[in-house]
Structure 1
């Protein structure tokens, strides 16, 4: 049987035509996803397939972004490798656009500022990564850099790399940031030890440790907010 291609729908029901007539904001998440995958199967349209994919992720785009190519191809008839890669690429572009816009106007004045800057880069990862944000005396972001990548429960941190990056950038402040794929924002004993080590090393160079942020999904823990950064 022939697949239900978007081209075979009535014109007013086609997501592409709807976007051209009414603007991209008029489309639902499922319709946008349907444009990406292009066609459904013999038994369901591209929009219906997209609705089912979104439903499996709780209609949450952040959760959708955590699905791997294998998850998509194995879990949904009509989604092959090419379509799965297209979905992932589109979601990644959205994340990068958001991160780029925030970076261009970034000034770290609160833990929320640091969270918003790195959340797009860390929220969907199945493994831990440690990043740093470097600021000047006015709190303006002058650099952000990935320091290390680990497994699902921890990542290593090279103190020398952190301090080298700060010194080379002539930074006045450092914000540590890493993610917890488990969804639990509570800091571990290793997180506490890292915070203390960086604080002491930075102080020797007259650099301030401004905060250590732990990101888990859409939540975060801030050492500064809890009075534990100094």
Structure 2
């Protein structure tokens, strides 16, 4: 009896599209675009015939309340209790988490709370300053309006960028965000929103209301200043 190739299994990562595979996604979109489970899946490398590495990582994360802090408390023997986790995989995860802990020991934790449009602009300068093409980003906030993640959604040309609204809310849900701030840059330096900017803002805001994930603001970023839809009374 011949065996089916692994690619026939819908749970097998090899059968996924390139942009959905954790390693390929990291190379295409950068490390910040990956969820915690996807990063752990890269360390796991492979799952079982029934469970992909990403699904295994999600099971592990769910068992610790989706908390990296709680995950870091586990030793390698505890990781080995999960089906599909051998000693080498368990030790790799423990070692990676220990590196993260040591880094936090030498770097002060900075709570970045969004107090208004000025703090949004300050937060986004590190990502959008001097960018030659339009990029669309989101800031994911917790209930205290503290920045959980700044994530790129899409990159366009010098005068426009296409935005997948579904992706915005997929990222917000993946990271359990309580609110979202939209940010995109105008390399031209033009601070007046286009009609498309206004229409997109309305569409995303309405989708957020349906999903109970409020869109707090949409900022147009330039190297010399910004335009806030909220400050302008358009939210």
* TM-score with structure 2 setting the length: 0.53
Partner of 2:26: none
Partner of 2:210: 204
Q: How does 1:116-155 map to 2 (within 5 A)?
A: 116-155=122-161
| Secondary structure of 1:174 counterpart | strand
Partner of 1:170: 176
| Secondary structure of 1:157 counterpart | coil
Partner of 2:199: 193
| Secondary structure of 1:203 counterpart | helix
Residues matched between the structures, number:
128
Partner of 1:227: 233
Partner of 1:33: none
Partner of 2:223: 217
How many Å apart are 1:105 and its aligned residue?
A: 2.7
How many Å apart are 1:104 and its aligned residue?
A: 3.2
Partner of 1:27: none
1:86-117 C-alpha deviation (Å, 9 max, x unpaired): xxxxxxxxxxxxxxx9x933111201111111
Identify unmatched segments of 5+ residues in structure 2.
1-106
Partner of 2:190: 184
1:160-219 C-alpha deviation (Å, 9 max, x unpaired): 100101111111111000100101111011111111111011111111111001011120
Decide whether the 8 Å contact of 1:131 with 1:146 is kept in 2.
yes
Distance 1:201 1:185 in 2: 25
Aligned pair 1:111/2:117, yes or no? yes
Distance 2:192 2:110 in 1: 30
Q: CA RMSD in A?
A: 1.5
Distance 1:115 1:185 in 2: 13
Structure with max Cα Rg: 1
Distance 1:209 1:133 in 2: 10
| Secondary structure of 1:176 counterpart | strand
Identify unmatched segments of 5+ residues in structure 1.
1-100
